[in-house]
Amino acid sequence: MAKMTLEELRKLRQTAQKTIRTRESAENDIHLTIGMGTSGIAAGAKDTLATLMSELEKHPELNVAVRQTGGLGLEHAEPTLEVRVPGMPVIIYGKVAPDVAQKIVQQHLINKELVDEHIYDRPASDIVDSGSAQ
């Protein structure tokens, strides 16, 4: 990189801030938790995660922490994704293939509308307590 001007430094700081912000978890207001148990991975959770991350990168204005967790107990619906957006109910989505992940970012995180056809609700509370990262 060549010598920077003031504008370039400011721009770099802005970009770099976005990258590092996910590390400062306390400041995030949207929390996504993806089920990465063996069955989740087998069902393609890694692809979902990769898509999710590249999708979020396009929307730096969203302040999102993405966590991974074990199986949520909804093995039949893997890959699963729990979405916590302030002011909205906590939702667990199932069968979140990469294209669904894109849709969730657009519709749930940005437009604040639920993606009805993929809601699998929450599993029984005893499973949430031991299985969820929260």
Partner 1 sequence: MAYAQYCLICDGTACNSSQSERIYEQIMKYVYDHDLEKTCQVVKTGCFGFCEQGPIVKVLPDEAFYVQVKPEDAADIVREHLLKGRPVSRLIYREKDTDSLGAVDKISFYRKQVRIVLRNCGFIDPESIDEYIAREGYQGLEKALFEMSGEEVLVEVEKSGLRGRGGGGFPTGRKWRFTKEMEADQKYVVCNADEGDPGAYMDRSMLEGDPHSIIEAMAICGYTVGASRGYVYVRAEYPLAVRRLEKALQDAREYGLLGDNILGSDFSFDIEIRLGAGAFVCGEETALLMSIEGMRGMPVQRPPYPAVKGLWGKPTVINNVETFGNIPVIVTRGGDWFAGIGTETSKGTKVFALTGNVNNSGLIEVPMGTTLRDIVFNIGGGIPGGKQFKAVQSGGPSGGMIPAEHMDTPIDYESLAALGSIMGSGGLIVMDEDDSMVDVAKFYLGFTVEESCGKCIPCRLGGRQIEKILEKFANGEGTPEDLQKIEEIGQTMITGSLCGLGKTAPNPVLSSIKYFRHEYEAAFRKDVAETA
| Residues at the contact surface with partner 1, assessed by CB under 8 A | 1-6, 9-10, 12-13, 16-20, 22-23, 25, 28, 33-34, 36-38, 41, 46, 49-50, 52-53, 56-57, 65-70, 133
Judged by CB, which is closer to partner 1: 18, or 122? 18
Judged by CB, which is closer to partner 1: 23, or 116? 23
Judged by CB, which is closer to partner 1: 16, or 110? 16
Cβ proximity of 75 and 36 under 8 Å: no
Cβ proximity of 97 and 44 under 8 Å: yes
Torsion angle of C-alpha atoms 73, 79, 84, 90, degrees rounded to 10: -50
Least separation in angstroms between CB 68 and partner 1? 3
The tokens describing 42, both together, are 């087998």
